[in-house]
Amino acid sequence: MITDGVRAVSKERAKRRALREAEAARERAVATRRRERRARLRRLKPKLPRRPRTGRLFARRSRTERAGIVALCIVLLTVVWVFVDPIALRVALIALLVLVLPAVVVIAFGRRT
Q: What pLDDT digit, counting tens, does each position of 80-97 carry?
A: 999 999 999 999 999 999
Residue 88: CB atoms within 10 A of its CB come to 8
pLDDT in tens, 54-87: 555 555 667 788 888 889 899 999 999 999 999 9
Residues 6+ positions from 61 with CB-CB distance below 8 Å: 69, 105, 109
Pairwise CA distance, residues 88 & 100, whole Å: 18
pTM given for the model: 0.43
User: How many Cα atoms are found within 13 Å in the side-chain-facing hemisphere of 24?
Assistant: 6
Contact 60, 112 (CB under 8 A): yes
CA atoms within 13 A on the CB side of 62: 5
